[in-house]
């Protein structure tokens, strides 16, 4: 088991949060032009779910389950989530309500 996978497998998001690995942005245009890192100003909005936290209980007492499961690809709000770096790679902790769709 690699160091990265052991660290990631030990991370358990808290209630109402999901750990996401954002997709890498394309470094090449459809016409074959390579783009520098500084050219991509937009953050990715899609990624793979690595772990989910427990169900959240709302103020009204209802239970709100995570809309995705481990391994799903999701689309999330553009500026949603809190970035965290683990061994130089960026991951996001995103709230359940910031997940817009599950890609099937």
Question: CA 69, CA 72: separation in Å to the nearest integer?
Answer: 6
pLDDT at residue 17 tops 90: yes
Min mean pLDDT across 38-52, 55-69, 87-101 is at: 38-52
| The CA-based dihedral angle spanning residues 24, 72, 6, 82, taken in that order and rounded to the nearest 10 degrees | 60
**More confident call, 16 vs 7:** 16
Mean pLDDT estimate for the chain = 85
- CB contact at 8 A, 86 and 60: no
Mean pLDDT of 63-91: 92
56: burial class by Cβ within 10 Å (0-12, 13-18, 19+)?
A: middle
Centroid of chain to Cα 31: 29
The domain 3-24+42-103 is classified under which CATH number: 2.30.33.40, 3.40.50.1370, 3.30.300.10, 1.10.3720.10? 2.30.33.40
How many C-beta atoms lie closer than 10 Å to residue 74's C-beta? 21
pLDDT at residue 1 tops 60: no
Give per-residue pLDDT as tens, 52-69.
999 999 899 999 999 999
Mean pLDDT of 60-82: 92
- Measured at the CA of 85, the angle between CA 83 and CA 7, to 5 degrees, comes to 120
């Amino acid at each position: 088991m690699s160091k990265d996978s052991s660290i990631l497998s030990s991370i358990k998001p808290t209630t109402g949060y999901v750990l996401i690995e954002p997709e890498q942005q394309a470094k090449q245009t459809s016409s074959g032009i390579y783009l520098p890192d500084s050219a991509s100003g937009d953050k990715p909005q899609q990624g793979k779910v690595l772990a989910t936290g427990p169900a959240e209980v709302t103020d009204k007492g209802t239970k709100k389950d995570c809309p995705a499961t481990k391994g799903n690809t999701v689309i999330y709000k553009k500026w949603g989530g809190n970035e965290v770096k683990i061994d130089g790679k960026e991951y996001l902790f995103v709230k359940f309500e910031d997940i817009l769709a599950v890609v099937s």
